[in-house]
Amino acid sequence: MFEDELKEIERAGLLRKIKDRQSMAGPEIVIDGKRLINFSSNDYLSLASSPEVIRKAEKALIEQGLGAGASRLLSGGTQAHRALERLLCEFKSTESALLFNSGYAANTGVIPAITDSDTAIFSDELNHASIIDGCRLSRAEVYVYRHKDTEELKKLIGTSKKRRKVIVTDTVFSMDGDIAPLSELREIADQEGAILYIDDAHGTGVLGNGRGALTHFGMEPQENIIQMGTLSKAIGAFGAFVAANNSITKWLINTARSLIFSTALPPSVVEGAAEAVRIIMKHPERVKGLWKNRQHLIEGLHSLGIDTSPSETPIIPIRVKSNDSALKISSFLLNRGIYAPAIRPPTVPTPRIRVTVVYGHTMEHLQRLLDALLEAKKCGLL
């Protein structure tokens, strides 16, 4: 079954394969027995391998066991879940926070829960697949506006007669590394009486001294803003959360199907994530270190004549001519001990090497990437 279809995607250079890592997640990883410098991770603050985080998770594992055993609404919730939510309120300066099992589960659970058939959703064209799927699962009318085009958004939203309007955007776009124009989006939301739902998966722990995109823009949380953040990227764990006011989280507890009908996060993950959040709050130098590495790499790439636009964050796309050249460059880098994956359609509209820089990268790691890219340029690959 599916053999012909598989052959077809293989012919188009689009066959995906799962790689198995034989080491801990981190700036260096082992794949197929080979030690590689890892430029593919969203563990921006290198907290997945932090000894303090691991110690907390280990203690919870021993004291509370492996799985949560049930949904949060049955017996799966613990004081650890509640304590992490309180910490996330402090972290995001909101009245309330609610855990979800992943960013994917949050977007596919929350978007249908806050919308109905008398709702219009306005979604940026480069929003993450989980937002797209959340919109598909909703009964709302969905309007996709051109990437960051607030003029088009204004026109679309101004003509909608729906009772409820929801603007949905990634804060940091996951494949281009650019940042959504949140101040303008908030202005439009306020004028139109709309909800602004922001997916801060790649902003949490990265922007605004780690507090996220709202802090980055000097914005305060407000009633019509719902923030989604993940525990799976800069926080180095797994899971996600919504930070908003009390009535919204109360509504989600009663309506978000991915929360109601799914087993709660394991306590070890929750305790590990809480320690990671505490580290981010106590040690802003970690976030500064990430940005120092990003600056160094960007300057190096520009000195090689490599265009990194539109990146404004540790996600740096290096655009290439074709799917084939993306695969060739990725394997050229792999042969030089560097893991930087080729990202191709349909994940993105145009092929690229997606490089992510993290806190744990050393200057030597960054130089190795720059040297390999220079060599690739000399060989005519770039």
Ligand X SMILES: Cc1ncc(COP(=O)(O)O)c(C=O)c1O
224 counts as binding ligand X under rule CB under 6 A: no
CB of 272 to ligand X, least distance (A): 14
Q: Which is nearer to ligand X, 241 or 339 (CB)?
A: 241
CB of 219 to ligand X, least distance (A): 19
Please count the residues of this chain forming the interface with ligand X, following the rule CB under 6 A. Answer: 14
236 counts as binding ligand X under rule CB under 6 A: no
Which of 246, 247, 179 is closest to 215 using CA atoms?
Answer: 179
174 counts as binding ligand X under rule CB under 6 A: yes
123 counts as binding ligand X under rule CB under 6 A: no
Q: Which is nearer to ligand X, 94 or 102 (CB)?
A: 102
Residues 74-103 that bind ligand X (CB under 6 A): 102-103
Residues 98-117 that bind ligand X (CB under 6 A): 102-104, 107
Site string for ligand X, 8-37 (x = CB under 6 A): ------------------------------
Which of 188, 202, 212, 190 is closest to 97 using CA atoms?
Answer: 212
Residue of 199, 248, 267, 271 interacting with ligand X (CB under 6 A): 199
In sequence order, what E strands does 71-117 have?
96-100
Which of 53, 76, 115 is closest to 248 using CA atoms?
Answer: 115
Residues 309-368 that bind ligand X (CB under 6 A): none
* Three-class secondary structure of residue 253 per DSSP: helix
- 3-state SS of 146-185 is CCCCHHHHHHHHHHCCCCEEEEEEECECCCCCCECCHHHH
What are the beta bridge partners of residue 165?
120
Separation in Å, CA 380 to CA 24, 309, 323, 357, 377: 34, 21, 16, 25, 5
User: Contact positions toward ligand X, by CB under 6 A?
Assistant: 102-104, 107, 128, 130, 170, 174, 199, 201-202, 230, 232, 240
